[in-house]
Structure 1
Amino acid sequence: MSLVGQPPCDRGAILGGDAATPCPKASKRWTLVAAIIGSSMAFIDGTVVNVALPAIQRQMNASSADAQWVMESYALFLAALLLIGGALGDRFGRRRVFMLGVALFTLASVGCALASDVGLLIGARAVQGIGAALLVPGSLALISAAYPQAERGAAIGTWSGFSGITAAIGPVIGGFLVEHYSWPWAFLINLPFGVAVLVMCALRVPESVGSSHGDPVDLRGACWVTVGLAGIVFALIEGPARGWTSVPILATAGTGVVALALFVRVEARGRTPMLPLAWFRQRTFAGTNLLTLLLYAALGGSLFFLPLDLIQVQGYGATAAGAALLPFIAIMFLLSRWAGGLVDVFGSRLPLVVGPVIAAAGFVLFALPSIGADYWTSFFPATCILGLGMAVTVAPLTTTVMNAVGSDRAGTASGINNAVARTAGLLAIAVFGVLLTSAFDQRLAHELATLQLPPGLGAGVLAQRQKLAGIVIPDGAAADVAAALRHAIGVSFVAGFRWVMGLSAALALVSAVSAWWLIEGKPRSSS
């Protein structure tokens, strides 16, 4: 699941926003409601689609790479255009750009539901990602614009509470719709909410612009980073099937590397860059973003494959799979206020070291269950430990990012950290897919070699290996042979899943080391 719950530094983006534009009390309330519903649409979509992926893969006869693209096409444009989306709102009007994002997101959701093949679904998801890149920063900016600094704490509390509720119940509702109706309903659920937000904004939400509304927008940087990430992700996802030395893979990988190099050059020389590279010379700012990159790569990459394991291997229904991470979300929500005070007591370094270490233990626990594992003795403890680790990390991370650059730049710094987290998940899903596919192929070949299969049956299974645990047993197989094949496929997926969780644990530990090395400890109190 991509970025389960609230992404890092959303609160920081609200707190660090521009001065509020005076508006009536009623307008403030309507603005907060519109922002909550708009951001909740994006939160829910990031987790509901994961639960729907097994059904999509089965109905559309899609490969594992196709399933990855369903998630990655959305994540690509959201991660690459997130910062530019906020700048467009400051320049052309926050309400106007937010409404454009909501409209794109809603229409693309309908397009996803009506898609007749996986290619059309991937295209609609890409448009959805563009819409999300406009509405996500727009929803945070609307709150900053409506509420003065003294009132933002209460507004953030309300926004966080409702967002936490939607993040918790969204996957469960989506799983219920997938299990009892069909997967298109997981997308159509956005339609009434999108229409309601557009009506609210048109009638009740005031317009505002940012203090930098006269500055040029970094469109060149946005284009280069989008091309760069697209090239790298394409090579990683398609490489196992097309061959790592094939012309398309080498060409797209090379294009991605060159485009990212040009992005760095544009950001270093631009007058108003979307990513101020000079800020990374500050050790704490660099350290928090390196920690974010590593830890959220572990989180986003590993939890993408968890619903596939629960549904296709463990035999969970979509509703149960959607509810599996409820303890994770509940722990992060309940402990967020407590964790926010850890920086005042211990400084930044200690919680940002301890939190990722606890999260690493959670990833290790996820690697232990085999086929038929009981949820309460296997996945539940892993979910709780991982939730505790992330709860200890996220609130101190937001505070540290904001303190690293000063209050006047805290909003931009928080937006950068948020974009880093989303980029980490984007790249990790592609990288982890390579790892899981390699381990799955090797183990499946070994398992099939030990079975005495009728001629052609093993070849029929291997021909579908790009579907991973979604392989369909060929018709005509005897019941005992089909059971043995299902077991072999499940064992092979678990073998790859364990490698993924092991890599996630390693990344979490490295993020803790980076925090210890780069982030300053508790500042000395002056007498």
Structure 2
Amino acid sequence: MSQPLTKTAKAAVPPQRSAPPTGLARFQGHPWLTLLTVAVGVMMVALDGTVVAIANPVIQSDLGASPADIQWVTSGYLLALAVFLITAGKIGDRFGHKSTFLVGAAGFAATSAAIGFAGNIQLVIACRVLQGLFGALLQPAALGLLRGAFPAEKLNMAIGIWAGVIGASTAAGPIVGGLLVEHVSWQSVFFINIPVGIAAVALGLWILRDVRVENAAKSFDVPGIALLSVAMFALVWGIIKAPTWGWSDSSTLLFLGGAVLALVLFAFWQTKAKEPLIPLSLFRSVPLSAGALLMVLMAFAFFGAIFFVTFYLQNVHAMTPVQAGVHLLPMTGMMIVGAPAAGAAIGKVGPRIPIVVGMVLTTVAMYGMSTLTSDSGTGVMSLWFVLMGLGISPVMVGATEVIVGNAPLELSGVAGGLQQAAMQVGGSLGTAVLGAVMAAKVTDVLPGNWAAAGLPPVDPAQQAGLDQAAQLGIAPPAPAGTPEQVVQGMATAVHESFVSGMSLAFAVAAAVAFAAALLGLLTKRGATDAGPAVHI
């Protein structure tokens, strides 16, 4: 006699159809077309994360924005994205991942258009915040749709390709942004999202099959959402501002302490809420908890350290943004190739071995980049970029599979939001912490390098400006008529100081990457193999 289905098993049974679909309807829910559709959507979000950085100086000049305003163009987007990701995953679980994805894609394209037509910096900032909110809707929904479309044995391959698209889009940002800003306008950086968004919505309406779970929560934990949002905002904002305020400044401590307090209150409330936003039982899974922390450490090392590479290429090696992007192609190419290959390997041997090997390769790449000098050639740089791309790929795929695969079906969207939130927090933390480490090192060695170059002492009133320029690898402008030997001495002192700081930052990143490799030993394949129920 057959046993009755459990609640979870029932949730995984798709409804019966009286006849197979015909015509264009037969493409609805097609796994690989679903992957194509969600890849188009997440490509917008990933590309936007780096392409706008190239446009910021031109936006500042064109709109007469202050440095603080320009910081908000980036920070407002990142804050909205980080704060809303987990809630957006819950929305997908409740209302269906197809609808959530379509709203996210349409909203992202619409706000991009609004930014392009904006006539003042205040409107640009407001629309960037809205962009972050819509981008947060897209990413967890994409994972939920993939989980519903692919059988368990092919899901890792799909996640691998999805991760490859994100990596390639992120790395392509400086190239695309440089070309558009140099040859068109800063507005074109945002207008490019319009046709991409239209394509994502059109494909979504045609291809995507709605994915939702029968036993998902029917109500929203409003107090939980509020507490988590406050905690994420305080944490990310405190991290963003810490390099400016100082890590021991009262404002920094207030935000970071407030984040801890809000997280404690959130955790307490989750034990009392009838339908909590994130049931704390989710973290009883050691692999899931390890996967989330692994994602934080990976993003800390990768995004924090890679931030300096663009300044190294453009300011130390005097490359244009496009040339710098081309030099990053070895890493981009390895991510494009490595992510699907990692997905296939994880499908056969599980995530633990690929994750550990990937983080070891990342550790070696980080250590190798700590040995770069101001005159290192393209060959040695490319070697470390290749290792970096090969190392990061299995970690992005494997950690995603560990987090989403070990979560209950009814929390698949929340798990996807958790994965993305961990990446955002890790990247922000890495950029801030490694930036502080680098700034301290540059400030420490610059006077010695300046004196060694035979240059006269700098006026104390100008020293702070020189330190800030050196932290970006920018040599100060020399007055007209300055001897060429002096100009070269100034550039050498600044570039040597910058490389010293970058080397220390990469060494710290290598240590963090090695810690992530050890953490990878605690991961394992997700226990939830079946996809969520599909409702049409």
Q: Does the pair score TM above 0.5?
A: yes
Q: Is the 8 A contact 1:17 1:141 kept in 2?
A: no
Residue from 302, 318, 321 that aligns with 1:318: 321
Give the structure 1 partner of residue 254 of structure 2: 251
Q: CA RMSD in A?
A: 4.1
Residue from 299, 304, 317 that aligns with 2:307: 304
Residue from 231, 250, 254 that aligns with 2:234: 231
Q: Is the 8 A contact 2:85 2:136 kept in 1?
A: yes
1:501 aligns with 2:501: no
1:192 aligns with 2:195: yes
Equivalent positions of 1:110-509 (< 5 A) are 110=113, 112-113=115-116, 123-142=126-145, 147=149, 149=151, 169=172, 171-198=174-201, 210-212=213-215, 215-244=218-247, 246-343=249-346, 348-377=351-380, 379-401=381-403, 404-405=406-407, 412-450=414-452, 459-460=461-462, 462-463=464-465, 465-467=467-469, 468-469=471-472, 471=474, 473-474=476-477, 476=479, 478=482, 480=484, 481-509=486-514
Q: Secondary structure at the match of 1:371?
A: coil
What is the CA–CA distance in structure 1 between the aligned matches of 2:303 and 2:351, rounded to whole Å?
A: 24
What is the CA–CA distance in structure 2 between the aligned matches of 1:419 and 1:319, rounded to whole Å?
A: 30
The one-character-per-residue Cα deviations of 1:468-497 (angstroms, maximum 9, x if unpaired) are 327573563525344333333322222221
What is the CA–CA distance in structure 2 between the aligned matches of 1:343 and 1:32, rounded to whole Å?
A: 18
What is the CA–CA distance in structure 2 between the aligned matches of 1:406 and 1:138, rounded to whole Å?
A: 16
| Worse-matched range after superposition: 391-400 or 62-71 | 62-71
| Worse-matched range after superposition: 207-216 or 282-291 | 207-216
Q: Could you tell me how far 1:359 is from its partner in structure 2?
A: 0.8
Q: Could you tell me how far 1:414 is from its partner in structure 2?
A: 4.7
- Structure 1 350/175 Cα, relative in aligned 2: closer, same or farther at 3 Å? same
What is the CA–CA distance in structure 2 between the aligned matches of 1:429 and 1:39, rounded to whole Å?
A: 22
| Worse-matched range after superposition: 229-238 or 452-461 | 452-461
- Structure 1 356/304 Cα, relative in aligned 2: closer, same or farther at 3 Å? same
What is the CA–CA distance in structure 2 between the aligned matches of 1:512 and 1:150, rounded to whole Å?
A: 25
Q: Is the 8 A contact 2:476 2:490 kept in 1?
A: yes
Q: Could you tell me how far 1:511 is from its partner in structure 2?
A: 1.2
Q: Could you tell me how far 1:343 is from its partner in structure 2?
A: 4.8
Q: Secondary structure at the match of 2:241?
A: helix
**Amino acid of the residue matched to residue 104 of structure 1?**
G
Q: Could you tell me how far 1:400 is from its partner in structure 2?
A: 3.9
- Structure 1 216/247 Cα, relative in aligned 2: closer, same or farther at 3 Å? same
Provide structure 1 residue ranges, at least 5 long, that are not aligned to the other structure. Answer: 1-15
**Amino acid of the residue matched to residue 136 of structure 1?**
Q
- Structure 1 297/144 Cα, relative in aligned 2: closer, same or farther at 3 Å? same
Q: Is the 8 A contact 1:84 1:218 kept in 2?
A: no
| Worse-matched range after superposition: 67-76 or 220-229 | 67-76
Q: Secondary structure at the match of 1:272?
A: coil
| Worse-matched range after superposition: 121-130 or 307-316 | 121-130
Normalised to the residue count of structure 1, the TM-score between the two structures is 0.80
Equivalent positions of 1:77-88 (< 5 A) are 77-88=80-91
**Amino acid of the residue matched to residue 389 of structure 2?**
G
Q: Could you tell me how far 1:429 is from its partner in structure 2?
A: 1.8
What is the CA–CA distance in structure 1 between the aligned matches of 2:56 and 2:376, rounded to whole Å?
A: 22
Q: Could you tell me how far 1:356 is from its partner in structure 2?
A: 0.9
Q: Is the 8 A contact 1:68 1:430 kept in 2?
A: no
What is the CA–CA distance in structure 1 between the aligned matches of 2:61 and 2:209, rounded to whole Å?
A: 46
Q: Could you tell me how far 1:426 is from its partner in structure 2?
A: 2.3
Q: Could you tell me how far 1:193 is from its partner in structure 2?
A: 1.9
Q: Could you tell me how far 1:187 is from its partner in structure 2?
A: 2.6
Q: Is the 8 A contact 1:95 1:142 kept in 2?
A: yes
Figure out how many residues of one structure are paired with residues of the other and give that number: 505
- Structure 1 293/17 Cα, relative in aligned 2: closer, same or farther at 3 Å? farther
Q: Secondary structure at the match of 1:316?
A: coil
Q: Could you tell me how far 1:59 is from its partner in structure 2?
A: 7.9
- Structure 1 432/21 Cα, relative in aligned 2: closer, same or farther at 3 Å? farther
Give the structure 2 partner of residue 513 of structure 1: 518
- Structure 1 212/487 Cα, relative in aligned 2: closer, same or farther at 3 Å? farther
**Amino acid of the residue matched to residue 386 of structure 1?**
M
**Amino acid of the residue matched to residue 271 of structure 1?**
K
Give the structure 2 partner of residue 9 of structure 1: none
| Worse-matched range after superposition: 449-458 or 387-396 | 449-458
Give the structure 2 partner of residue 7 of structure 1: none
The one-character-per-residue Cα deviations of 1:110-142 (angstroms, maximum 9, x if unpaired) are 455567787765554333211100122234445
- Structure 1 159/328 Cα, relative in aligned 2: closer, same or farther at 3 Å? same
| Worse-matched range after superposition: 316-325 or 102-111 | 102-111
Give the structure 1 partner of residue 7 of structure 2: none
What is the CA–CA distance in structure 1 between the aligned matches of 2:465 and 2:168, rounded to whole Å?
A: 43
The one-character-per-residue Cα deviations of 1:63-90 (angstroms, maximum 9, x if unpaired) are 9988776544323322332121122233
- Structure 1 461/126 Cα, relative in aligned 2: closer, same or farther at 3 Å? farther
- Structure 1 391/254 Cα, relative in aligned 2: closer, same or farther at 3 Å? closer
Provide structure 2 residue ranges, at least 5 long, that are not aligned to the other structure. Answer: 1-10, 528-536
What is the CA–CA distance in structure 1 between the aligned matches of 2:450 and 2:61, rounded to whole Å?
A: 22
Q: Secondary structure at the match of 2:354?
A: helix
Normalised to the residue count of structure 2, the TM-score between the two structures is 0.78
Give the structure 1 partner of residue 534 of structure 2: none
**Amino acid of the residue matched to residue 131 of structure 1?**
F
Q: Could you tell me how far 1:427 is from its partner in structure 2?
A: 2.1
What is the CA–CA distance in structure 1 between the aligned matches of 2:183 and 2:477, rounded to whole Å?
A: 26
**Amino acid of the residue matched to residue 327 of structure 2?**
A
The one-character-per-residue Cα deviations of 1:170-208 (angstroms, maximum 9, x if unpaired) are 543333223434444323321222244445556886766
What is the CA–CA distance in structure 2 between the aligned matches of 1:291 and 1:426, rounded to whole Å?
A: 15
What is the CA–CA distance in structure 2 between the aligned matches of 1:74 and 1:168, rounded to whole Å?
A: 18
Structure number with larger C-alpha Rg? 2
Q: Could you tell me how far 1:510 is from its partner in structure 2?
A: 0.7
Q: Secondary structure at the match of 2:220?
A: coil
| Worse-matched range after superposition: 195-204 or 52-61 | 52-61
Give the structure 2 partner of residue 74 of structure 1: 77
What is the CA–CA distance in structure 1 between the aligned matches of 2:133 and 2:413, rounded to whole Å?
A: 21
Give the structure 2 partner of residue 4 of structure 1: none
